Amino acid sequence: MAVSRRAFLLGASALLAGCQTNHSKDKANYAAQTTEPYPLPAMSLEKIKPELRRTEVDYPTSQAAGTVVVDTPARRLYYVLGGGRAIRYAVSVGREGLELRGNAHVGRKAEWPTWTPTANMIRREPAKYGPLAGGMPGGPNNPLGARAMYLYRGGNDIHFRIHGTNQPQSIGYAMSSGCIRMLNHDVIDLYSRVSVGDKVVVLQA
């Protein structure tokens, strides 16, 4: 069936408007964070593939609103909004053999957190992590980035975190020591939505 020139132009205009709207949202999502203790510059959208950018998506699930779902194989994290919708974030997950398994809940939260390598990390790579056994203060060089949500199970810290990163190039890959990494701009957004006690569901292949 032939498509009229008018219908074609209307469709093209709607598509262009949608693209401009998405671009505007992306620019706002990754704009400079000037009120932070360690201000974050705007992220260049050229350095964030479209599929890795934060966005609201359709997400039918039986999980309640406020649940965090980590889809490990897809390297995506969803914050369930309810009504079949969620905020989708790209993440980096643990290398093979170091993945987070099972469900948990957010036991505590911290802004620009101190980072201390776990005993297992020090044991695996003593030369790299041994000197940091006393902890590293929060800041732009800290591997936990701008925010951290500490995961607990049965009232105990399981030493896995959802956190920011100073290695944005790792997002979308399985490169971490087991924790869930997010872009600093994204983890700040998630942190503002999540409360202590919220459920975290981890999906494996």
Residues identified as active-site: 163, 179
* 43: amino acid identity, one letter: M
Q: How far apart are CA 76 and CA 71, in angstroms?
A: 5
Structure tokens belonging to residue 21: 């709207």
46 and 156 Cβ atoms separated by less than 8 Å = no
CA distances from 29 to 11, 12, 63 (A): 27, 26, 26
List the end-to-end C-alpha distance of the chain, in Å, as a whole number.
44
What H or E segment, with its residue span, contains residue 162?
A: strand 156-163
